[in-house]
C-alpha cells in the first residue's frame, strides 16, 4: 500500500543517498545476489518511502548489543544467534513470535545454567526475509522451470511463475512485518533481546541506514554478510564497514587466512571487542580449515566473536529434498570448540536455524528421512533437536580442555 508521506515530498528530494554522500559512493560498488528488479519503475519511490519511515531499532540498543558482544569476545559470555532460515511474512503474529521467543529463551537459559555464564541472545528475526540462493531457477512440481524463492521480501514461496516474480513493493511489507515482529517481541520480552538478519538487499539496507557522521543500520541490531557476498571490496562488506552496529560475516570452507584478515581489517580497523562476529560454516568434513584461519585472526589481535554455524556446511540432498544430519552438526561443533581452544580463542557461541514448529527436517541418520519434509528454505532444528544441540555445545564448554583435537 502506498503511504503518501514520502511520495508527497517528491521522489528525488527524499533520496537517502543524497543525504549521505558516503553511502552514495558505496552504492556504486558491485553487489552480488540482488533481485532482478533494478529497472523497475517504482524502485526509487519505494526506496524513498523506506527512507522516510522511522528506524526499527535505535542507537542505545545497538550500543548495548555491542557491549554484550564485547563481553563474548573477551571470553566472559556466550552468544546464541538463532532463528528461522527464512522468516515468512505470515510468522509476524503475536502467537508465532511468542512461541519462537519461548524456545529461544529455553535454549539460552539452558546454556547459561550449564556454563554459569551470561548468554547473549541474538535472534534471526524481524527482517530475515531475503535469501541468497545457489541457483536462480528450480523445477516446479508440474515440471516448469521457475525462478527460485528468494525470501518473502522478494517473491512468494508458492511455486508458480507469477508468484515467483521479484516485486520490490515487498520491501515495504518486509519493513511492516519486521516492525510488527519487534512490537510482539517487545511485548513479551522481560529481558533485552536483539534482532539480526542477513544484510542482502541493497534496496532495503541503504534506505534504513541512518545517522549523522556515524552511520548505523536502523534495520536490526546486528546484520551479517553471507558466504556468497563476502568479497571485501564489494558493496555488502563495504556497507557493513560503514555502520557502527556489530556485524557478522559467514566463513565457508573456501575461506583463506588472507581473506579473513582482509575482512577483519575492513570491518574492524579499530579493533573494538565484539564489533565483528566470524561465523564459521565449514562442514563436518572440512573443519581442519578452521585452524589456519583462527591462527591468523589471533595473530592479528582482532578481538572477534567466534560463532559456529553447523548448519550451512552440512546440507545434504536426498531425493530432491534438503536435509541435515545431527551427527554432522555435533561433529562440526566439537571441532569448533577444540580448534579454537587449541589456538587460545574463546568458542563464543552457536548460529543455528531453529523453529518452534513441530517439523522433522534434520535427522539422526539418513534412514529416518522420508523425503516429505518441506522447509521454506533450509532444514531447521525442531525444539528437542535445538535443545540437544545446545546441550552438546554446553558439554564441550564445561570440559576443561574441551578435549584434544
List interacting residues with ligand PEP (CB under 6 A): 85, 132, 198, 226-228, 250, 281, 312
- Based on its alpha-carbon atoms, the radius of gyration of the chain, rounded to whole angstroms, reads 20
- Residue 379 or 402: the one with the smaller Cβ distance to ligand PEP is 379
Which contacts (CB < 8 Å, 24+ apart) does range 383-388 have? 383/103, 383/106, 383/354, 383/356, 383/358, 385/326, 386/82, 386/103, 386/107, 386/352, 386/354, 387/106, 387/107, 387/110, 388/326
Sheet strands (E) in 268-375: 276-280, 305-308, 315-318, 321-325, 349-353, 362-363
Taking contact as CB under 5 A, which single stretch among the options 28-36, 142-150, 313-321, 376-384 is the one that binds Mn ion? 376-384
- Residue 31 or 46: the one with the smaller Cβ distance to ligand PEP is 31
- DSSP 3-state helix, strand, coil percentages of the chain (rounded to 5)? 40, 15, 40
Number of residues that bind Mn ion (CB under 5 A): 2
Report, in Å, the least distance between residue 118 CB and ligand PEP: 24
273 binds, among ligand PEP, Mn ion, none (CB under 5 to 8 A by kind): none
Report, in Å, the least distance between residue 22 CB and ligand PEP: 26
Report, in Å, the least distance between residue 312 CB and ligand PEP: 4
226 binds, among ligand PEP, Mn ion, none (CB under 5 to 8 A by kind): ligand PEP
Residues 287/336, Cβ–Cβ less than 8 Å: yes
Helix (H, G, I), strand (E, B) or coil at 198: strand
378 binds Mn ion (CB under 5 A): yes
- Residue 85 or 293: the one with the smaller Cβ distance to ligand PEP is 85
- Residue 281 or 343: the one with the smaller Cβ distance to ligand PEP is 281
227 binds, among Mn ion, ligand PEP, none (CB under 5 to 8 A by kind): ligand PEP
85 binds Mn ion (CB under 5 A): yes
99 binds, among ligand PEP, Mn ion, none (CB under 5 to 8 A by kind): none
Residues 304/264, Cβ–Cβ less than 8 Å: yes
Amino acid at each position: 500500500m502506498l503511504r503518501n508521506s514520502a511520495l508527497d515530498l517528491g521522489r528525488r528530494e527524499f533520496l537517502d543517498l543524497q543525504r549521505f554522500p558516503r553511502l552514495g559512493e558505496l552504492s556504486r560498488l558491485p553487489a552480488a545476489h540482488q533481485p532482478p528488479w533494478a529497472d523497475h519503475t517504482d524502485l526509487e519511490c519505494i526506496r524513498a518511502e523506506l527512507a522516510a519511515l522511522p528506524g526499527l531499532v535505535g542507537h542505545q540498543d545497538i550500543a548495548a548489543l555491542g557491549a554484550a558482544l564485547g563481553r563474548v569476545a573477551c571470553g566472559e559470555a556466550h552468544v546464541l544467534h538463532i532463528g528461522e532460515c527464512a522468516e515468512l511474512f505470515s510468522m509476524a503474529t503475536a502467537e508465532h513470535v511468542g512461541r519462537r521467543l519461548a524456545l529461544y529463551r529455553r535454549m539460552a537459559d539452558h546454556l547459561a545454567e550449564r556454563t554459569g555464564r551470561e548468554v547473549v541472545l541474538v535472534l534471526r528475526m524481524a527482517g530475515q526475509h531475503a535469501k541468497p540462493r545457489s541457483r536462480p531457477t528450480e523445477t516446479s512440481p508440474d515440471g516448469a522451470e521457475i525462478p527460485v524463492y528468494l525470501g518473502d521480501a522478494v517473491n512468494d514461496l508458492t511455486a508458480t511463475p507469477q508468484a515467483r516474480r521479484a516485486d520490490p513493493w515487498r520491501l515495504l511489507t518486509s519493513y511492516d512485518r519486521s516492525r510488527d515482529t519487534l512490537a510482539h517481541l517487545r511485548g513479551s520480552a522481560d529481558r533485552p533481546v536483539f534482532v539480526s538478519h542477513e544484510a542482502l538487499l541493497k534496496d532495503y539496507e541503504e534506505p534504513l541506514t541512518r545517522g549523522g557522521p556515524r552511520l548505523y543500520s536502523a534495520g536490526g541490531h546486528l546484520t551479517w554478510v553471507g558466504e556468497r557476498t563476502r568479497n571485501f571490496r564489494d558493496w555488502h562488506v563495504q556497507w557493513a564497514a560503514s555502520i557502527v552496529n556489530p556485524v557478522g560475516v559467514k566463513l565457508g570452507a573456501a575461506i583463506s587466512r588472507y581473506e579473513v584478515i582482509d575482512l577483519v581489517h575492513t570491518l574492524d580497523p579499530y579493533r573494538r571487542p565484539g564489533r565483528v562476529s566470524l561465523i564459521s560454516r565449514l562442514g563436518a568434513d572440512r573443519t581442519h580449515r578452521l585452524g589456519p584461519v583462527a591462527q591468523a585472526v589471533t595473530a592479528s589481535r582482532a578481538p572477534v566473536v567466534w560463532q559456529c554455524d553447523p548448519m550451512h556446511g552440512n546440507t545434504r540432498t536426498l531425493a530432491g529434498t534438503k536435509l541435515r544430519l545431527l551427527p554432522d552438526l555435533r561433529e562440526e561443533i566439537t571441532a569448533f570448540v577444540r580448534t579454537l581452544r587449541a589456538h587460545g580463542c574463546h568458542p563464543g557461541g552457536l548460529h543455528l536455524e531453529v523453529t518452534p514448529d513441530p517439523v522433522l527436517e534434520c535427522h539422526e541418520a539418513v534412514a529416518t528421512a522420508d523425503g516429505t519434509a518441506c522447509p521454506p528454505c533450509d532444514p531447521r532444528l525442531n525444539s528437542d533437536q535445538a535443545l540437544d544441540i545446545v546441550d552438546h555445545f554446553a558439554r564441550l564448554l564445561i570440559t576443561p580442555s574441551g578435549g584434544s583435537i
